[in-house]
Structures are given as C-alpha cells and as structure tokens.
A and B are shown apart, each in its own frame.
Chain A
Amino acid sequence: MSKHNALQMFGRSGNPALNDNTFRNEGRVIGQTMTLQGTVNKTGLLLSILVLTAMYTWNLFFQTGNPAAVMPIATGGAIGGLILALVTIFKKTWSPITAPIYAALEGLFLGGISAIFEYQYPGIVIQATGLTLGTLASLLILYKLGIIQPTENFRLMIVSATMGIAVLYFISMIMNMFGSTGIGFIHSNGLFGIGFSLFVVAIAALNLVLDFDFIEQGAEMGAPKYMEWFGAFTLMVTLIWLYLEMLRLLAKLRSR
C-alpha cells in the first residue's frame, strides 16, 4: 500500500463517531458520570499511548532506512485502527478498552508514515504536529468563549463536507487499487491540489468544534463514565485526521 493510500484510508474516518444517538439510552446515571476533566485526562492518556507506539515505527525506519521495514507494521496499524474505530463507534460501552488499543495501532501507523515524510522533507513532522496542536488549542479557546457556536446548520455543513471528502477519498482509493491513477488533483502539488488540501484541513479542524460540543454536552447531561473514553476517542479520530492532512499539505508546499 502506498503512503497516499494509507492516508486516504484514514481520511475516510472523518467524524462519523459523532453522528449520533450517542446519548440515547445512556440516560442520566447516579454516581460516576462523564466529566470534562476526565475526558481531558483520557485524551492525554490516548495521546501518550499514540506517541509511544509511534516512536517504535519511527525508530525502526531510521535504524533500517528502509520503508519496506515499517510499511507492513504501519499498514497493519492503519487497518487494525480502522477496525477498532468501527467497533468503538458501534459499541460505545467498549470504548474504555477499544480506545487505547485504537490509539496504539494508529501510533504504529503514524510513526511509520511520519518517518517516511520526515526522511523526504526534514522538519516537516514537528511543523505538522505544532500546527495540529495549535489548531486544537485555538479552537478550544474560541469554543469555550462562545466565539464559535456550533448549531444544527453548522453540524449539517460539516458532516456533509466530511462525507463528501470521505467519498472522494474512497473512490480514489478503489481506483488506485485497480491500476488507475485515481483522482489526480487530490495528490497534485499545483494550486488546485493545495487549495483542496486547505479545504480538507479546514473541515477537519471544524470537526474539532463538533467534538468539543459533544463532550461539553455529554458532561452537562451526566452521561455515563465510559463516555469519557468515547469523547476522548472522537477527539483522537479528528486529531489524527487533521495531522495527516497537515502533513499532506506541508508536503505539497515543500515539493513545489
């Protein structure tokens, strides 16, 4: 699988975890309920797990200098992560177990992909990480202050755009598998390709606002404790997608 294919595979995840009757049947529970602090702590924990496993494939690549040494592990991580993401979306009660495993598998994938990008464009990984986390912090502040107010129309717009991107990536990936060049502009480093990447980065970033609102309302409504893991998982899905899109955008800009 090429690195583009692997990226596209992840891109599909978008933010379907947040289509939802999520709090339906969860009800208000007595005792242990979802809190903002708990969700933030769990997100931190998932990020740490991701970084630890990413370091493994990262080091493996730079020790061997051979992409073939890490690609099977990275591809396995991407496929395993996709399966775990689906399981988590359909069985939210399992998220205390599936979310950490998902983070570990995605770490293997991201570590390998990041190392390959870093080898081609030195310094790109720290730039993509900085921009991703910078976007996270900026949007969190804008959300908390009420400057960005997610409404049903906002949600409809973001979900529609995310699904559109997912379908485009999906078609391109299927075409690539059977020898076609796929949808060329997605990967091009021309103005159109960069414009497309900027659009995808913007949509991925705005998905973070939906995640914040989902977590905030979950805590306010007294959702069960395991929803902290699910909230952290949704944030991870979006962050990983945003990071990959940042990496692609920077690579396109550097390759010009």
Chain B
Amino acid sequence: MDFNTLFFGIIIVLSLAVFLYAGKFRASEKQRNRDDKINWQSARYRHLRTILLIMVGILAVAMLARWLMS
C-alpha cells in the first residue's frame, strides 16, 4: 500500500466516522438561536425548479436533434 492510498484512506475513514457521529447531534445554540436563519418555507426560489426543467428540456431536444443529424 503506497503513501497516497494510506493517507487518503485514513482521511476517508475518519471523515465518514465524523459525519456518522456528529451528524446525529443538533447544532449548537449559537447556530439555532439566531434571528437571521434561512426560512426554508418561503417560495422565494421556487422558479429555479422551472428553469432547471426548461434547461433539461432544451438539452433533451438538442440530444435528439444531434442523434437525428448523425
């Protein structure tokens, strides 16, 4: 096993352990008790889903056109 594999392998194992352990705990009071938290219930960015759908639609048409041309 070379150094690259060993070093990054340890990072992977440690990171997964940190994620699986720390992820289940609630965030600190400092994080939770703020007045400027994101309001995930607002529909402010709702239109982005539509834009994404349009982009995928254009992409599908372009792929079809390319396939027909070839």
Question: Hey, which bits of chain A sit against chain B, CB under 8 A?
Answer: 9, 12, 16, 18-24, 36-37, 39-40, 43-44, 82, 86, 89-90, 123, 126-127, 129-131, 133-134, 136-137, 140-141, 143-146, 149-152, 154-155, 159, 163, 166-167, 170, 173-174, 177-178, 210, 212-214, 216-220
The 8 tightest CB contacts between A and B, nearest first, are A146-B30, A19-B45, A130-B8, A133-B15, A146-B31, A40-B23, A137-B15, A137-B18
Q: How far is the CA of A150 from the CA of B31 in the complex (A)?
A: 9
What is the total of A-B residue contacts with beta carbons within 8 Å? 159
Inter-subunit contact B49/A90 (CB<8 Å):
yes
Inter-subunit contact B15/A134 (CB<8 Å):
yes
Residue in B40, B45, B63 whose Cβ sees the most chain A Cβ within 10 Å? B40
Inter-subunit contact B49/A16 (CB<8 Å):
yes
Inter-subunit contact B23/A21 (CB<8 Å):
no
Of B23, B25, B52, which is within 8 A of A16 by CB? B52
Shortest CB-to-CB span from A205 to chain B, Å, is: 13
> What does DSSP make chain A's interface, helix, strand, loop or mixed?
helix
Interface size class of B (residues with CB under 8 A): 35 or more
Q: Known A21-B43, A123-B4, A126-B4; judge A36-B26 contact (CB<8 A).
A: yes
